[in-house]
Amino acid sequence: MPKSKSSLDRRNFLAVTTRMGLATTLLPGVLWAMAEEHKKITKEMIGQAAEIADVDIPDADKDMMLEALNEAVKDYDAVHALHLANGVEPAILFNPVLPGMKIDFPRRPPRLSRVAVPAAPKNIEDVAFYNVRQLGELVRTKRVSSVALTEMYLQRLKRYDPILKFVITLTEDRAMAQAKEADRDIAAGKYRGALHGLPWGAKDLLAVKGYPTTWGAGGFEHQVIDEDATVVQRLDRAGAVLIAKLTMGALAMGDVWFGGTTKNPWKTDQGSSGSSAGPASATAAGCVAFSIGTETLGSISSPSTRCGDTGLRPTFGRVPRTGAMALSWSMDKIGPICRAVEDCAVVLQVIHGPDGHDGTVHDIPFTWDAGLDIHSLRIGYLKDAFEEVPKAPSAAEDTPQRKQFREMRVEQMKYDNAALDVLRNKLGLKLIEVKLPEFPYQNLLPILSAEAAAAFDELTRSGRDKLLTAQGKNDWPNTFRAARFIPAVEYINANRARTLGMEKMADIFKQVDVIVAPTNGSPQLIITNLTGHPAVILPDAFRPDGTPTSLTFLGNLFREDQVAAVAKAYQDATDWNLRHPEKIEAAPEVKK
């Protein structure tokens, strides 16, 4: 999950509105802080707050506001006294499905591709980089035991964690018990499916009974949440083996957590990006069969790109978030990070659907069909994004960073256009030019800031935000404080504008079923995280320095089957996902 870089102008900072529609203060904010010190709100405080809000309030109106504002302090104090836990959702649900949309899919069993059963390995580590389907066949046919796989991946996690810093907690006892149970069940003919006996890693915002759930954040290192997240329960029932709680940037930002910076296994002097930093790094390093990450605004996309994984960000409302840390109730999504597209589909088949707790989740079936004819689909591409080179600003405004970005974008365009050639010439697809809507999606990001600040309201008010590692102007502590000045009116208006933005994207998907897009270099990431559309991110090249690049496939709401089918066809026609780091060593500058 991302850094919030919303550009909040003066109109985004409102400390005063009215409790009755004219005089409610956004408390506790500046006025509440002042009231705490002086015991009540005064006309002078209203004037100062109005200055921030760029609202002209005559003195006579300030007199009328005082009583309501001082009464409002009591209301806010009463709510604060409840000590709302992070898992308590607001009584407002975001729904990506617009009125009039018909989403009705038949329920049928998934259809997997045929996979040749690999030979039993002479050395168990020979299978470390196998994909889920290959590992599943080895376990199903008893050529490799779940216990052997689990022990191997645990050893690799222990070996590479000092270099990559991707583990927060090993769940070794739980894992070995699950692996032994898996082997007993399979021996008895009780096979549960393609994930049975496969070791996996969870981003450490998923609660697991008996183990810390740290959210990667200082001050939460010893937090234990006495429940198993819904996703954990479902993977348990599928027979998968949880072996580790993997790192995440503190409170789902970046790749810096309380124990250090999680590294990219392709280039260990580089962070793995965030905030699903550990899942992406561990998967790419061949230390788990698959992992689970989350995304609010890039946290599956970004580390999958950096580490060369295949990530699937499902439709908002596809996977229940019960038992997961909340950052933004209207934007958070849970999805798999794997080594192949079909792996992601297999995992999504297990974890999707309502759980009776997360009210945002729709009862819409996901049915993976590896034999789906992609030539029957209308496939679009963002022509402008693949061709337009970022314009250089004036010499006075240009910076080394901007120049470097332009150079990287030109290099990336070469790789992305080669991917288009594969789709056109190797797969015989006719690509339809489409354009993303012209709409101020970037300016809707105060939605994320406001929800995140509410999710961690008590952290800010208590001053415990000082325990977080990162304390810069773009880090959570400062973002949470600034977001307290976003007025309720502006938050609601941003959500109203969001509806218009959703309608514009719905119009695009009337023209096509799937869109091919650069992962970077277009606003697709912001747009689709706000509208709730699904995406598959996969490697499409490697740079001269050995680091991977990626391509993104976007799908219509709840059509992960279509977007994954097109992405799989591209992946099968290339070999980028089959590559893996040959040697993982600490960067010279950090060797001791």
For 51-113, the DSSP string reads: HHHT----HHHHHHHHHHHHHHHHHHHHHHTT---TTPPPS-----S-TT----------BPP
Percent of the chain at pLDDT > 70 equals 93
For 333-360, the pLDDT digits (tens) are: 999 999 999 999 999 999 999 999 999 9
What integer best gives the mean pLDDT of the chain? Answer: 91
Q: How many helices (H) and strands (E) does the chain have?
A: 18, 15
Average pLDDT on 259-283 reads 97
Q: Which of 22-36, 106-120, 245-259, 404-418 has the lowest mean pLDDT?
A: 22-36
Closest alpha carbon to 292 in 208, 227, 219: 208
For 484-505, the pLDDT digits (tens) are: 888 888 899 999 999 999 999 9
Whether the pLDDT of residue 29 is over 60: the answer is: no
Average pLDDT on 539-555 reads 97
pLDDT for residue 268: 98
Structural contact between residues 420 and 381, judged by C-beta atoms closer than 8 angstroms: yes
pLDDT for residue 589: 64
Residue holding tokens 């680091």?
547
pLDDT for residue 477: 94
Q: What confidence category does residue 397 fall into, taking pLDDT thresholds of 50, 70 and 90? A: confident
Structural contact between residues 25 and 69, judged by C-beta atoms closer than 8 angstroms: yes
Q: What confidence category does residue 3 fall into, taking pLDDT thresholds of 50, 70 and 90? A: very low
Q: What confidence category does residue 414 fall into, taking pLDDT thresholds of 50, 70 and 90? A: very high
Average pLDDT on 294-302 reads 98
Whether the pLDDT of residue 267 is over 50: the answer is: yes
Structural contact between residues 69 and 75, judged by C-beta atoms closer than 8 angstroms: no
The whole-angstrom separation of Cα 203 and Cα 281 is: 11
pLDDT for residue 46: 87
Average pLDDT on 575-588 reads 94
Average pLDDT on 160-188 reads 98
Structural contact between residues 124 and 144, judged by C-beta atoms closer than 8 angstroms: yes
Q: What confidence category does residue 393 fall into, taking pLDDT thresholds of 50, 70 and 90? A: confident
Average pLDDT on 557-566 reads 98
Instruction: Spell out the domains of the chain, with CATH numbers in brackets.
Output: 10-82+442-493 (no CATH), 127-369 (3.90.1300.10)
Whether the pLDDT of residue 591 is over 80: the answer is: no
Closest alpha carbon to 248 in 211, 294, 203, 307: 203
pLDDT for residue 209: 98
Percent of the chain at pLDDT > 90 equals 78
Q: What confidence category does residue 39 fall into, taking pLDDT thresholds of 50, 70 and 90? A: low
